Amino acid sequence: MARSKEADVARLYHLHSAHVRARPLEPPFDADLRPLPFRTYLGSARTPLPGRDFAIDAPLGAVLERRRSIRDFALRPMPLATLGRLLHASYGVRGMRKIDGEWSNDRPTPSAGGLYPLEIYVATQAVEELPDGLYHYDARAHELELRREGLAHTALVGLTLDQGMIMNTNVVVVITAVPMRTMWKYGQRGYRFLWLDAGHLGQNLYLVATAMGLGPVAIGGFYDEELRRLLSLPAEEDAIYLVCIGQPAPAGSRTGTQRA
Ligand SMILES: Cc1cc2nc3c(=O)[nH]c(=O)nc-3n(C[C@H](O)[C@H](O)[C@H](O)COP(=O)(O)O)c2cc1C
């Protein structure tokens, strides 16, 4: 039930996107409405990333046992290869393969229909050999595309309802979605799949970060339109989830603050 007097749009959406035997499945949209499967910003300055591998030496059981949200960070330089490996192991492109008879990316997360609607942007701070800034991750090329020069962390604190822990993180990963990549095929129900895809990617980021000795924390609350503007997102793309990653403060100096 809605908390305000507004219509309970969540419930309406849930009901209208439910599969019901009496209702035929929505047909796919016209092929020419189908968005490109990858975002590329032509003409932007590009930084090739090292760490296009899965060289993470930690047993999964131990990682799962250790995983938790970290909110106390010590800001120290982070090697560029650590950022590269974090991105590749979480959402890189391992190759191509056929899914449902169509060529699709082969990536470390599952994705409804193999359509991969998500894109990754990173706000970086104190990453070695990389000027602080906002970048788009071109997963095929394993390169960063510069979107905005300079530290974006202060702006990100302001538009995430003052989550000050961001200031000491090296990387704020912003997960965005191009809804039509998935809704083109699955219609209204496809909108559910975007968030499920994002959960898988968020968990990859959590586990890879933990395995590499880093600290992750998710953020679900932010001013949507302000974040769209900060990232200069194309009209067809929305920001949906953030995962901040930094280097955990030594145990004795943690304050244990908790939000959400
Ligand atoms: C969708 C989602 C949104 C979240 N948003 C925030 C947030 O805005 N700020 C924050 O500090 N933690 C946030 N978290 C982290 C949760 O608070 C955390 O996962 C939960 O308290 C369990 O703790 P653990 O991750 O340490 O096991 C979020 C987690 C999820 C899954």
- Alpha-helical (H) ranges within 79-217 are 80-91, 153-159, 179-211
Q: What percent of the chain has pLDDT over 90?
A: 85
With the most atoms of ligand 1 within 8 angstroms of its CB, the residue from 71, 157, 219, 255 to mutate is 219
- Do the beta carbons of residue 180 and residue 188 sit within 8 Å? no
CA dist 165 and 109 (Å) reads: 27
The predicted pLDDT at position 57 comes to: 93
Residue 256 has what pLDDT? 53
When the pLDDT of each residue in the chain is averaged and rounded to a whole number, the result is 94
The two structure tokens encoding residue 93: 């492109």
Q: Calculate what percentage of the chain has a pLDDT beyond 70.
A: 97
Output helix, strand, coil percentages for the chain, rounded to the nearest 5.
Answer: 35, 20, 45
CA distances 35 to 41, 137, 233, Å, are 15, 18, 15
Question: Pick from 112, 242, 84: which is nearest to 173 by CA?
Answer: 242
Any residues with Cβ below 6 Å from ligand 1, and which? Answer: 68-69, 71, 163, 217-221, 259-260
* Closest CA to ligand 1's atom 8: 219
Cα of 231 vs centre of ligand 1, distance in Å, is 23
Q: How far is the CA of 71 from the centre of ligand 1 (A)?
A: 10
Q: Mind listing the pLDDT tens digit for each residue in 163-201?
A: 999 999 999 999 999 999 999 999 999 999 999 999 999
- At 64-88, the pLDDT tens digits run 999 999 999 999 999 999 999 999 9
pLDDT band for position 208 (50/70/90)? very high
Residue whose Cα lies nearest atom 16 of ligand 1: it is 260
Is the distance from CB of 157 to CB of 172 less than 8 angstroms? no
pLDDT digits (tens, 9 = 90+) for 135-172: 999 999 999 999 999 999 999 999 999 999 999 999 99
Q: How confident is the model at residue 6 (pLDDT cuts 50, 70, 90)?
A: confident
The residue to which tokens 């032509």 are assigned: 42
* φ, ψ dihedrals at 134, nearest 5°: -110, 130
Question: Which secondary structure element, helix H or strand E, spans residue 11, and what is its range?
Answer: helix 9-16
Judge if pTM exceeds 0.75.
yes
Q: How far is the CA of 260 from the centre of ligand 1 (A)?
A: 6
Non-local (6+) Cβ contacts of 211 within 8 A are 56, 58, 63
CA of 216 relative to ligand 1 center, distance in Å: 10
CA-to-CA distance for 165 and 65, rounded, in angstroms?
23
Nearest CA to ligand 1 atom 18: 69
H or E element that contains 9: helix 9-16
Report all structural domains of the chain as residue ranges with CATH numbers, in order of start.
60-250 (3.40.109.10)
Q: What is the pLDDT at residue 2?
A: 67
pLDDT-derived band at 257 (thresholds 50, 70, 90) equals: low
